Amino acid sequence: MTEEEVKLNYITPAIEEAGWSKKQIRMEYSITAGKIVVRGNVAKRLPVNAPRGIINQALMKISLYNETISDYFEIILYDALHKLSEKSKGTAIKNIAPFEILKPAKVQIPPLNEQKRILNKLAMINQIISS
């Protein structure tokens, strides 16, 4: 039995029975290399060589069905997070917008060749800016 299974099957029920609410109980979630992690309005993809880790409810993990679009998705996500940050709470680092706002969000993704064209154009612009 894993540590998470022990917590889920024994510890969590015991502390709930002792009167704790679900909001008082902190859970851990595993995350692996290549996944996108969001904190507030900042999103980063974990490097391919990143060790497996644990995140908590202050962070959000995003898994894509088709990893070929991940570079394009990161650009869209960056923009969306900044727009959603107006609905977020927090002082030093804003928390992620509530799931009732995020979950129904639809993201329109153009065909793969259009994504590549956009990414190439942005790379050219970045190269001009940095020279």
**Cα distance between residue 128 and residue 76, in whole Å:** 21
Helix or strand or coil: residue 54?
A: strand
The percentage of the chain sitting over the pLDDT mark of 70, rounded to a whole number, equals 76
Average pLDDT, integer, range 57-74? 72
The overall average pLDDT reported for the chain is 78
Predicted model pTM: 0.54
Q: What SS3 state is found at 37?
A: strand
Answer whether 46's CB lies under 8 Å from 32's CB: yes
pLDDT single digits (tens) 78-115: 777 777 666 666 555 556 666 666 667 777 788 888 98
Sequence letter at residue 110: P
The residues pairing with 31 across neighbouring beta strands, listed in sequence order, are: 53
For residue 95, report the phi and psi dihedrals to the nearest 5 degrees: -75, 165
